[in-house]
Amino acid sequence: MTKDMNFIDGLLGQMTLEEKIGQLNLVTPGGETLTGTVVNTDVAEKIRTGRIGGIFGVKSAEAVRVFQDLAQETRLKIPLMFAEDVIHGQKTIFPLPLALAASWDMDLVRATARVAAREAASIGIDQVYSPMIDVCRDPRWGRIAESPGEDPFLASRFAEAMVEGYQNNDLSHPDAVMACLKHFCGYGGGMGGRDYDAVDLSPATLHDVVLPPFVAGMRAGAGSIMASFNTLNGVPMHANRAVITELFREKLGFGGLVVADYTGILELIAHGVAADRADAARLGLTAGVDMDMVSETYLETLEDSVGAGLIKEAEITAACRRVLEAKLKLGLFDDPYHRLDWGRSAQPILTAANRQLAREAVAAATVVLKNDGNLLPLPAPESGKIGTIALVGPFALDRVNMNGTWAVAASPSTVVPIADGLREAVGNAVSVLTAKGANIVDELWLASRLNVHDWKDLSVVIDVRSPEAMIAEAVATASSADVTVAVVGEAREYSGESSSRSDLSIPEPQKKLLRALKATGKPLVVVVMTGRPLVLAEEALLADALLVAWFGGTEIGHGLADVLFGKSEPSGRLPATFPYSLGQVPITYSHRPTGRPAPGRFQKFTSGYVDLPDDVPQNDGLYPFGFGLGYGTVAYGPPRAVRTELAGEDRLDVTVTVTNLGDRPTLETVQLYIGDPVASVSRPVKELKAFRKLALAPRVAEAVSFTVTAADLDFSVAETVTDTRRRLEGGAFDIHVGPNSRDTQAVRVVWNEPKIEGKRS
Ligand code: BGC
């Protein structure tokens, strides 16, 4: 990068007010996947006249070049900045973000973001609207698919890894793209799990649960953030000066660009805080939203508002400076075409290495929930132990759903379907028979909603045959096989934006199929495709082996075959609780204790559900956060602390011995949680503070050590969102270690320290 900040000062000095406002206008030229009803018009003309600063949703290098050429016709030749929703890959699609978080492998997460960055940059994309790091504890919300799940610590590590992968420590390099942390903030807590709905959160919860991933992403260097659609304690985020500017920018030190979400500024009218477009624009700008996405309210009204004395030109200049700085960091002032030119020579799209990474990611993300009698891995194809596999279910041959929600640039044609992957793995040694067995859903109205983004290929195709005929065919197929693999679950657009569900079950036609398959008496492996935690209580009874494969992307077929035959160890651990029943949501392992804690099973006058059976954990779901099995058998010893009395800045080493009792190598994710049994406020029963994913050789015991410091023990005390401090209170702490958030063993230590209050943040 040869140009510097002085260059920006010089440029700003030459710009008219109109040109500055033009830089704040962020548009989409329309076509293909849109997430709102408003689309920009006359895009080319507006670029030529300096009234657009950035574009998103441009799908080809050729189109990027054409638009950039137009920007070069303007008086000051300020380059455009191109953005795209690259959520879990550009062309090579990786498992969904929720699934990548399930890997608990941040090197892998970083590597996927690096591949996505290179693929996107090669067609001229400068900025990606990712990572999405909204902590979510309500799986009714469809956008949990895009998120790293329910836990702020895991989400923070995910945020860092994604930012590092995208930006690669040098944004000016043509193969790096600017990360955009979204959605800022609180979006994951919408009322009733409904998208766009109101969020009410205490300031302390905001600081301890919602903000940590944003702070982690900022510290990792994220160049931008996107405001969220929701209100937060009554104030829409697009008008929330306290949180965006006073807290995130001024107190926490964010120095990058803030973009609106799709028509988020205009929606301030619908939220009931702005009277008209001018009012909305004024509120958005003064809140600290630098770029107005799609609404064009800034473009239309800001100049008049300056004239009327409603806003100061200096506020527009400050926002424009941040847009120009982002372009400077991206190297666009040195060469607006450098990503395009690099892309032409590098051709990094869908390479064998990219596909290989996507294949490995499937195993890393797949969570085994049940594996009775070690049904999995299936015997090696050449062993002769199985002759026929029945591959049943509406996803067996599917390509369209496999990429999951939000893979806007990907094509189903590049996907390896599960049937292909399985057939390739078994060669001629085993025959793989397929049967659809059931429609994803039977209702036409629902199918048409789920096909909302399918302008070429449909995700939900309703079979003309009757449900009974399809089940009969599947049962006949299963009956002639040695083992049945049933692939069932959600259509891809069951999750994602504007895809909240009021029911978390696998759709009924597929449940009927599973019941019929169980009745065949053949061993039943159930593979679940999903973008969210589902209620799998019945499936857990029907299946001999139960796997959550999420939506695995381009290489799902190969990756899943690797898992089924044990070529790869499935090593995913749940990044969000799978409830036992719908009524348990919102749900998290990290809840506060009640005055009448549930003793695990229902007991009158304790916190729980009168209609949940006795063997069901009342408030931590069917499968807890962090849960997942490998193919090995791993035993945990108790955690050992080198000492149990500590003070102040001491460091505490906690060690646990983890033993692979089996005769296969395995991968285990050792998790450390902390509980604070007595404090001035009621603290969550456990909070994740560290984890380590390790490879364990057969019959080997390994000592795993973690270091705990006082920084792991404090919490926020907050009067308002901006008036916050961290507080460390001395006393007893329970350090829990185990394979998931439920099955832990603990050691109690005392951290002697009078109340220490951190500086106000
Ligand atoms: C979504 C964002 C996305 C934007 C641009 C919005 O509807 O909330 O996550 O980045 O559209 O496509």
Inform me whether the pLDDT recorded for 348 exceeds 60.
yes
Say if CB 513 and CB 469 are below 8 A apart: no
Inform me whether the pLDDT recorded for 147 exceeds 80.
yes
Give the pLDDT confidence score for residue 757 in this predicted structure: 62
Catalytic option among 261, 292, 398, 454: 261
Cα(362)–Cα(529) distance, rounded to whole angstroms? 12
- Best of 28, 35, 183 for a ligand 1 pocket test (most atoms within 8 Å of beta carbon): 35
725 class by beta-carbon count within 10 Å (0-12 exposed, 13-18 middle, 19+ buried): middle
Inform me whether the pLDDT recorded for 755 exceeds 80.
no
Task: Give the count of beta carbons closer than 10 Å to the beta carbon of residue 251.
Answer: 15
Give the pLDDT confidence score for residue 760 in this predicted structure: 46
State pLDDT tens for residues 579-635. Answer: 999 999 999 999 999 999 888 788 899 998 999 988 888 878 999 999 999 998 999
* Mean pLDDT, residues 450-474 taken together: 91
Portions of the chain given CATH number 3.20.20.300: 5-346
Ligand 1 contact via 262 beta carbon (within 6 Å): yes
Q: Which CATH class is domain 5-346?
A: alpha beta
Contacts of 328 (CB under 8 A, 6+ apart): 1, 3, 4, 5, 7, 8
- Any idea how long the chain is? 761
From the CA of 228, give the closest atom in ligand 1: 8
State pLDDT tens for residues 485-519. Answer: 999 999 999 999 999 999 999 999 999 999 999 99
Distance 185 CA to ligand 1 centre (A): 14
* Mean pLDDT, residues 379-400 taken together: 97
As given in the structure block, the two tokens for residue 519 are 């009745």
Distance 517 CA to ligand 1 centre (A): 40
Identify whether 261 is a catalytic site residue: yes
Give the pLDDT confidence score for residue 735 in this predicted structure: 98
Say if CB 218 and CB 180 are below 8 A apart: no
Distance 179 CA to ligand 1 centre (A): 14
Portions of the chain given CATH number 3.40.50.1700: 352-583
Q: Which alpha helices (H) appear in 122-265, and where do they start and end?
A: 152-167, 203-205, 212-219, 241
As given in the structure block, the two tokens for residue 461 are 């195709």
State pLDDT tens for residues 247-293. Answer: 999 999 999 999 999 999 999 999 999 999 999 999 999 999 999 99
Helix axes 106-121, 338-346, angle to 10 degrees: 100
Inform me whether the pLDDT recorded for 547 exceeds 80.
yes
CA quadruple 402, 404, 409, 410: dihedral, nearest 10: -10
- Best of 26, 28, 32, 85 for a ligand 1 pocket test (most atoms within 8 Å of beta carbon): 85
Amino acid (one-letter) located at 734: D
Distance 135 CA to ligand 1 centre (A): 17
Pick the CATH number of 634-752 from 3.40.50.2300, 3.30.360.10, 2.60.40.10, 3.10.20.30: 2.60.40.10
Ligand 1 contact via 497 beta carbon (within 6 Å): yes
* Mean pLDDT, residues 50-58 taken together: 96
Say if CB 633 and CB 663 are below 8 A apart: no
Give the pLDDT confidence score for residue 617 in this predicted structure: 80
Q: List b or e across 700-713, with b for residues whose CB sees 16 or more CB atoms inside 10 angstroms.
A: eeeebebebebebb
pTM: 0.97
Cα(610)–Cα(588) distance, rounded to whole angstroms? 19
Say if CB 641 and CB 665 are below 8 A apart: no
Cα(266)–Cα(298) distance, rounded to whole angstroms? 10
Min mean pLDDT across 8-17, 142-151, 383-392, 612-621 is at 612-621
Give the pLDDT confidence score for residue 761 in this predicted structure: 43
Cα(578)–Cα(398) distance, rounded to whole angstroms? 25
Ligand 1 contact via 129 beta carbon (within 6 Å): yes
Portions of the chain given CATH number 2.60.40.10: 634-752
Say if CB 118 and CB 148 are below 8 A apart: no
The average confidence (pLDDT) of the chain is: 95
Give the count of alpha carbons within 13 A of 388, CB side only. 12
Task: Give the count of beta carbons closer than 10 Å to the beta carbon of residue 173.
Answer: 18
Inform me whether the pLDDT recorded for 34 exceeds 80.
no
Give the pLDDT confidence score for residue 618 in this predicted structure: 80
Nearest alpha carbon, ligand 1 atom 8: 261
- HEC profile of 72-85: CCCCCCCCCEEEEC
Looking at the chain, the whole-number percentage of residues with pLDDT higher than 70 is 98
The Cα angle at residue 715 between residues 688 and 759, in degrees rounded to 5 = 135
Distance 483 CA to ligand 1 centre (A): 43
Coil/strand/helix, residue 310: coil
| Helix or strand holding residue 705 (H, E) | strand 701-709
Q: Which alpha helices (H) appear in 83-181, and where do they start and end?
A: 97-102, 106-121, 152-167
Give the pLDDT confidence score for residue 35 in this predicted structure: 57
Question: 352-583: CATH homologous superfamily?
Answer: Glycoside hydrolase family 3 C-terminal domain (3.40.50.1700)
State pLDDT tens for residues 413-438. Answer: 999 999 999 999 999 999 999 999 99
- What is the pLDDT confidence band of residue 454, given thresholds at 50, 70 and 90? confident
Ligand 1 contact via 196 beta carbon (within 6 Å): no
Say if CB 571 and CB 535 are below 8 A apart: no
Nearest alpha carbon, ligand 1 atom 11: 262
As given in the structure block, the two tokens for residue 708 are 């705990």
Cα(69)–Cα(280) distance, rounded to whole angstroms? 32
- HEC profile of 638-657: CCEECCCEEECCCEEEEEEE
Cα(649)–Cα(641) distance, rounded to whole angstroms? 16
State pLDDT tens for residues 192-249. Answer: 999 999 999 999 999 999 999 999 999 999 999 999 999 999 999 999 999 999 999 9
Longest dimension (CA), the chain: 83
Cα(748)–Cα(761) distance, rounded to whole angstroms? 30
* Mean pLDDT, residues 624-648 taken together: 96
Cα(8)–Cα(11) distance, rounded to whole angstroms? 5
Ligand 1 contact via 709 beta carbon (within 6 Å): no
Nearest alpha carbon, ligand 1 atom 7: 35
